[in-house]
Amino acid sequence: MRDLAHEQSGAVMVVGLFMAVFAVGLVYALMGIGETVAYQEEVQQVADTGAFSAAVTHARGMNTIALVNRSISTTSATLSAFTIMDVAFSPVVCSLPHGACEEHRAHHAAIRADVAPRAEALLRAATRAAERVAEVTPVLADAEVGAIGAEVHSDRVRRAFLVHSRMPLARSNLAPACALTNVNAFRLAKEAMGDLLYAQTLGERAIRADREAFQCTTLDVAGAGPLVPDPPNLPVGTEPWQLRVAVLGNADRVRGIGRGVRVPRDSIGRPATTERAWAEATDADRGTTLALAQAEYYCEWEHANLQNDTALHIVEEDAFSMCWRARLRRVRIPTGVAIDEVTRDRQYDAWVRGSLLASCGDDCLPLMDLVSVANDAIH
Amino acid sequence: MRFIEDTRGSATSEGVIIAPVLVILFAAVLWAGARYTTERRNAAQVHRQPWAPALAGCVDGAPDPNLTEALSGYDSRLAGNVPRLRRDLDRVTVSRFDESRTDEVQQPAPLGGGTLELRERTRVSCNTVPVSWNEDEVELMTLDEFCRLSPYCDPL
């Protein structure tokens, strides 16, 4: 024992071996950090590009719907002009001599009987087309997100999907379309009647974008109407225009040499009420991670998001304008509303169960711990 | 036997044995650093590249076949009814910005030598470009439709 204590041979070897083991560990850790950073960036990149692309798809859908709405407005102007002429030739308004009113009325009624059914068929066809676009747009967006995940980043992504949300649109009656084209409807009536007859019967009227105008209140075609925001006064940035993309990352490669990224429970936005703890994916499936991203589609037209009608614009007018674009947003669930933590947690839980899990299915069940921790991290 | 019992130079010989191991490990650290630096630089360039054109709207896309299909033939009705609107439908375009890039790093001899390919790829849909409505044009569209549907355009 004394000999061993005094023996110095092999001392450098022992120190060297310890250093070698330490250096091996260092290389291992370095590779783990590198892989983890690369993995995190890649998965988040898929989520970001997926969310933005989904919002672009929705913006394209809105622009297509705006175009069809404009076509509805254009066709409804013809029917409005007919209503204006009905009034112009009515016994109450028309005071032309020698039975001219009756003659004009009969002539106009014959034309209207021929044209109105064809115009109404066009309006119904346009409405069906707009509704079909609103229906397929979220499907197309989800397919685009899936393609980005599967084709571009297949090695690190298990699944990328759009959290289900329908376009916040509903079929309106024809009043908004009619209101937008009031000016043109009177011009058409003038074109049909000629300036003199128009002046003799209707005179010059002050015309504004007014859904209460007589030709709009009586304009009703069953099964036809533009698709407009529902409710109509949804400002930019509110929840219905938000899209969220979730990406289930394949962390198997990272797990081999690193522990992946752990999210602290008391990270951002709320005071630490508990001792710091780290989120761990469940043991059942530690190879899967979750990344979220959010984007929105919005109309950048200066008169978009009116809260009420004005003399020149109607509240739904952004649904008639090809002004829709997309942009990324910070992930926030729900958005745009200041609420207390308890309400927020309840809403977040409702979103997770009602939207995220509904879109993801069983794939997301092993991630529930991470998803609930994300509530603290993203608010 | 004396050679075994002689401890002179033992530290040197142990150092000689362990030094290559440490040199190899040091080289491995440098190689790993270089590899991930290249990979990150590659990824950053690829991921950064599409955003500027995508956000601005790449404007070189083709009409969106999926949305046109969803219109269930209404686009051809638009062509007949209001040609000006049909023209605007063509401006609802699809375009994407695909970017990929491959960098190579030299592999150390103990790992087989040669080069290691680091490939990055990304894809972003191009933002839409707003189409403004000219009120005169809207008036003409309305008149076109009115004249197509009714015989009123011949003045009474």
A224 near A127, Cβ under 8 Å?
yes
Task: Take residue A74 and report the two structure tokens written for it.
Answer: 């254009």
Distance CA A171, CA A127 (A): 8
Task: Point out which residues pair with B62 in neighbouring strands.
Answer: B94
- From residue B51, give the alpha-carbon distance in Å to each of A5, A45, A200, B54, B108: 67, 11, 60, 5, 36
Asked whether the CA dihedral B38, B42, B48, B49 is positive or negative, the reply is positive
* A77 contacts B146? CB cut-off 8 A: yes
The letter for the amino acid at A246 is A
Contact of A293 with A244, CB cutoff 8 Å: yes
The alpha helices in B49-92, defined as continuous H runs, are: 51-56, 65-70, 74-81, 83-89
| pLDDT tens digits for range A300-329 | 888 887 888 888 888 888 999 999 999 999
What would the two tokens of residue A228 be?
Answer: 């407009």
With an 8 Å Cβ cutoff, are A77 and B88 in contact?
no
Sort out which chain A residues have CB atoms less than 8 A from B152's CB and list them.
111, 188, 191-192
The mean pLDDT value for A176-187 works out to: 89
B85 in reach of chain A (CB within 8 A)? yes
Mean of pLDDT values over A202-228: 83
Cβ <8 Å between A27 and B141: no
How many other C-beta atoms lie within 10 A of the C-beta of residue A117?
A: 10
**Which ipTM was obtained for this model?**
0.83
Rounded to two decimals, what is the model's pTM?
Answer: 0.86
Mean pLDDT of chain A: 82
Q: A129 or A232: whose pLDDT is higher? A: A129
Residue B144 to chain A, least CA–CA distance (Å): 9
- Interface mutation target, options B5, B82, B137, B152, chain A, most CBs of A under 10 Å: B152
- Compute the average pLDDT of residues A150-171: 88
Mean pLDDT of A45-69: 95
Indicate yes or no: CB of A12 within 8 angstroms of CB of B35. Answer: no
| Beta bridge mates, A247 | A160, A291
Alpha-carbon gap, residue B96 to B121, rounded angstroms: 13
